[in-house]
A and B are shown apart, each in its own frame.
Chain A
Amino acid sequence: MTSILLPESETEIEAIVHEAAQSHSPLAIHGGGTRPIGKPVHADRALSTKLLTGITLYEPSELVLSARAGTPLAEIQQTLAVNRQRLPFEPIDYRHLLGNHGIPTIGGVTASNSSGPRRIHSGAARDSLIGVRATTGRGETIKSGGRVMKNVTGYDFVKLLVGSWGTLAVLTEVTYKLLPEAETELTLLLTGLSAERAVEAMTTALGTPFEVTGAAHLPATDGMPTRTALRLEGFDASVRYRIDRLDTVLQPFGAFETIAAEASRVLWASIRDVEALETPHDAAIWRISVRPTDGPRVGESLKAQLGSRVLYDWAGGLVWASGPAEGDGGAAIVRSAVASVGGHAMLVRGSPELRASVPVFEPESPGVAAMSRLIKATFDPAGILNPGRM
């Protein structure tokens, strides 16, 4: 039975981790527990940051917010909404896809570098994160970055810790830069395109100056053809102008319909949360990052070989694909498809048995793997933080 430790301060976290390092007893690190991704961690004790909460700094006129790691994402989003601001990178809510009911925290968003459709325009979580405090596997709390927009003082541990899945340090406080919410948004919808043609349309649109902030291709569903969505955000007049210009550019791809703001928000939330692949609930789900123009080759080959359902985001550069629940979950075929074009694949959904039996993250080249091991050893020499997860 795993016991759960619920520290309420950085000092308590330091004490717990320090003791764990001394006794070489591993800790599973959690935020709200909504991202059970990675290899199952075997640890008698779990450390959850969910009681380490609170927004510690919010300066709307400086577009900056700091919060303790366990602060619910929803609380942050509600606070920002009051001033019509937002986190730029549109973090995914994994609860639908992974079928759980926890409360997503800002620490979890950070540890998993969770970014949504707007990543192609406004960057990932890693691009908006400007400061961290984190307790390393030595039980010492370090800081990197800060609260200012530009900072090159010392090594950029902000980048190293974002997306490190609690294996280098326990995040205790994070600082993000923000963006104003767009005055409005509209989505162009093209229907019936093949994946290849859709990616052509999406990359064409992204090659224009018209600032497309979302570009996704949704699979056909019962009775409904494929849909290719392009989102524009900004001041109303500007959005309307850019829609007109894109209309001309996208002529070769057929007629499109325009989806107004409210419906557009609903559509992009469903793309962000990968609702198209939610069922069947036991299917393996892969998240694959490649060059946009390589997306269809990977996606279509998985369809042919594994019968995958495929959702393309990031203009084709992010391929969400289902795989079989049993066997290797499609790992061999996914890995080989990705290797043929270059990129990486992560198994985001799979039974604990499946995640224990195949690599969840893309296997690294020997040189990169060696660098990662050396760096891990500096942060967590006893190997107690989420051992084996990555």
Chain B
Amino acid sequence: MAVRPRLAVWKFASCDGCQLSLLDCEDELLAVAGEVEIANFVEASSAVAPGPYDLSLVEGSVTTPEDARRIQEVRAQSKHLVTIGACATAGGIQALRNFQDVEEFRRAVYARPEYIATLATSTAIRDHVPVDFELRGCPINKAQVLEVIAAFLHRRRPTVATGSVCAECKRRGVVCVVVAQGTPCLGPVTQAGCGAICPAYRRGCYGCFGPQDSPNTPAWSSRLGELGLAPGAILRIYRTFNAAAPAFRAAGDAAVQEGG
């Protein structure tokens, strides 16, 4: 067998769900293992081979001084670095701390706050090191992560749509929950990738894949207001898994200005 590219999977501040999505590839995992040497994937195996690595998949955000150092080491050992999931690409749900006083949390939550070394913010990997590709989602879509690995192997750009979730609803024939039910939904401003799971179950989109490539959040927030959402509710709809993604952060800030 030819020398296989070496793959590493890293965890930062995260729930492990994106790594589990990779493990959930079950049928395809053997094919992946045939094409790449899974050299470092602690979630899957305690057998860890030292770097350097050809492809690093990074899950999670940077929330501690230690991780801010560690991501530099990961980058230094990685020829290509791809972030996977909302934490790594936008700071994740834990980036809600960015809008609050972390010192106060530390004093309120921990009996010995002085043991806790944490940063005031949860930040995306891109804010610390150069990133070659960012795969969205909370969690990532397993077909998309396989596409990213295949694209890396064959030195092409991954085919990952960056338009809205609405296109996925329409392709599935899902009836628009906004138009037919008046249900608040982030689909029009959110990037496709999940396959429109929530609208298919008559729920509004929660924005797990972060802003689409042309997110008109001002127009959308105004429409959400017409649907009956108060500024506080509009603020909460944007402040979830991708709260710190620039377009959603700005939309949340605008809702705060409106009194949210």
Task: Judge: A and B partners, yes or no.
Answer: no
Query: Which of A's residues lie within 8 Å of B, judged by CB?
Result: none
Q: Residues of B with Cβ closer than 8 Å to A?
A: none
